Amino acid sequence: MIKLKTILKTLSIVYLAFSIAGCKTETARATTYYVSNRGSDNASGKSPATAWKTIEKVNSRKFSPGDSVLFEAGGVWRETLRINKSGAPGSYIVYSRFGVGANPQILGSVKAADWSKTGTANIWKTSTAITNFSQEHYAGRMFFVKNDSVAWGRFVGFDNGFSNLTSEFDYTVNGTVHYIFSVGDPNSLYESVEVAQRKFCVQTDNTSYIEMNGIDLMYSRYSGYFSGYPEYRGASNLIIRNCNIGYIGRKGSGYAYGIEMWHSNSIVENCTITDCGRRAISMNLYNVPFPPGQERAISNVVIRNNVFKRGYHTTGLDLACNRGSGDTIRNIYYYNNIHDDSELAVTPEDETSNQLFLYNIAGDYVNEIYVYNNIFIKATARNILAMGCDSLYFWNNTFVGHNPKITAHPYGNVTLNGTRNLDYRNNILYDNLPKSKIYNYGLHAWGSNTNYIERDYNLYFSENPQTDRCFTSIYVKEEDRNYYYTTTVWNEYRYKFPGYDKNSPRPQNPAFIDYKNHNFRLTENSPAKMSGTAVEKIISVNQTIIDTLGIYDFSGALRSKTSPSIGAFE
């Protein structure tokens, strides 16, 4: 059972018409519409007192650039919001909230209610007729909400004797009737039992200049936010901020995403995205036919200040070009994000999760990717897996080991395969795996030569350095062999590769303030203090300067310009 309050923050957001890249300019035609569970679709919708009631009513309208659609705080809608009209430069169409309280919710589920006993002990059935999607290839799931927590249901095949229903959260289906195992009355035991039904909470049609602000998206089968599959030339200018998104699809599914997006000049910020069966954010250009000369390109995307938790394939961003015909993803700025898989129990191998995944095949281009000031906590697979990419900048990240309950080899904290031109500086890489038969190589150049722009000013540490628990592996093409080094043979590594880590401190404990409780700030005597080097990158979206990487640490403190600290915190 996972605490719901970690993803459903009670927000009292006052919507700001002008915000950083908020991109709304008031015009004479701009109108604000209101939607409330207490409203009426026969009303005008132009004030809280005359609010509309349903998303169906919202979907029936064509909004103009500059318009806003505001959902009442604390409201719940079980419909798919369809965004079918673009805004314009300087005049986004904004979907947000009004009032004080928790974010409004758009849910992809039906609430199973009116539970009654069957003739079998501890087996209950709902009178709510619900389509069973549990056995589809891209399945939905049942979710149990109790005491501000959410638990995934475990689907089992139906038999008349209910012999497969043996523990809490087990469920099965016969036709449209859903059954669960429960030792008490589900009507009082659970606040709600949600069964995923709709594919998307929000579905758009390649619309541009759209902002989604302070609306929670949960319990859909495919995606929380689906931005429309990319066309030639593509869509642009999508902002998603202050949203809680999660419990999508089923664990390990091939299609279960928090946000599915392909927009250039876009921002995802201040969101919590958790428990997505496949990926939290999917930015994949798939291998589908396009006419020659119609290559797809995504560029200038900022993903910052988000929390990603409990992944089942990719905990955070999954970015890939798969066609090999000139598609491009470039200028992606990924910073100040937390990735945390520490709460997961033992994970089946088909549900292990890379916390960040970057990929392209020959003929496509994934380049100029900046990964800065992020915290990666106890992955079930790799913290970062990069395959076939070019010009990656990994600066000032704190990698804090693996989930100690894993049973499969993670292979590496940061794994590189065919990756060219990596700038790897100011990173803390902390290996926490216990003594076991599980092997791991911290910074792992796997099966291909990695060309570094720079590799220096990094701090490595292993709680249990062993011959198969190494802080690095390096493939030397000329010798056609890999070299592996534990932290105990630092001098040997430095002698063989004098160009690497020449200014890095000797491997030692980074001395976090409170490792156990995930406070990864540095104590005053930390060897990472004032041991880094200055890095800087000015970034912009849509020709508007919005930030400079390298100026601030994860907490917003100014970094030293002459001797900054290693890791996410100054």
For 393-423, write each residue's pLDDT tens digit: 999 999 998 998 898 889 899 999 989 999 9
DSSP string computed for 57-103: HHHT----TT-EEEEETT-EE-S-EEE----BTTB-EEEEEESSSSP
In the numeric block, the tokens 């689906």 are attached to 226
Q: What average pLDDT does the chain have? A: 92
pLDDT of residue 2: 53
Query: Which backbone phi and psi does 120 adopt, to 5 degrees?
Result: -110, 135
pLDDT at 552 over 60: yes
pLDDT at 97 over 80: yes
Q: How confident is the model at residue 10 (pLDDT cuts 50, 70, 90)?
A: very low
Q: How confident is the model at residue 530 (pLDDT cuts 50, 70, 90)?
A: very high
pLDDT at 57 over 80: yes
pLDDT of residue 129: 95
For 110-124, write each residue's pLDDT tens digit: 999 999 999 999 999
Distance from C-alpha of 568 to C-alpha of 514, rounded to nearest angstrom = 15
Element (H, E) at 187: helix 186-189
pLDDT of residue 476: 87
Q: How confident is the model at residue 447 (pLDDT cuts 50, 70, 90)?
A: low
pLDDT at 14 over 80: no
pLDDT of residue 467: 81
Contact 524, 357 (CB under 8 A): no
Q: How confident is the model at residue 25 (pLDDT cuts 50, 70, 90)?
A: very low
pLDDT at 448 over 80: no
List the domain boundaries for the chain: 109-186, 278-525+533-570
Residues 6+ apart with CB under 8 A from 213: 13, 15, 94, 95, 96, 97, 239, 240, 241, 242, 243
Distance from C-alpha of 164 to C-alpha of 109, rounded to nearest angstrom = 24
DSSP 3-state assignment of 56? helix
Query: Which backbone phi and psi does 284 adopt, to 5 degrees?
Result: -115, 125
pLDDT of residue 469: 86
| Highest mean pLDDT: which range of 7-21, 365-379, 458-472 | 365-379
Portion of the chain with pLDDT greater than 90, in percent: 81
